[in-house]
Amino acid sequence: MITVIVHHYAVPDLVSRAESGIKENGRVMRSFPGFISRQTLCAQDDRNQITSVTTWRSLDDFQGWSNRPDRPAPNPDAPSLWSRPVESTVFDLTPEL
């Protein structure tokens, strides 16, 4: 199993819209093969930071989600929701003691 942690930094006036988009993405993700779980976190000390934590059966499953042919392309005419680039890290899960 793997866990993917993604940090999003929303433009201050667009936090609600950004959070809605992230949660909608998570809703769609739930039916994708290999998906296990997801949490959306909002930082207490920076309300513009929204972090998602997803767990997948395998890296191949996550990459299948990320590279799926029906993935919507970003709308170039929409205002950018992010104040800085999205940061994503993939972790291997290790057994707990």
Q: Is the pLDDT of residue 14 over 80?
A: yes
What confidence score (pLDDT) does residue 58 get? Answer: 97
Q: What is the pLDDT of residue 96?
A: 82
CATH number for the domain spanning 12: value is 3.30.70.100
Look at residue 97 and tell me if it is in a domain. Answer: no
What pLDDT, in 10s, does the model give residues 20-78? 989 988 999 999 999 999 999 999 999 999 999 999 999 999 999 999 888 777 666 56
Asked if 71 and 58 count as a contact pair (C-beta separation under 8 A), the reply is no
Strand, coil or helix: 24:
helix
Q: Which domain holds residue 63?
A: 2-71+79-92
- Domain presence at residue 10: yes
The pLDDT assigned to 59 comes to 97
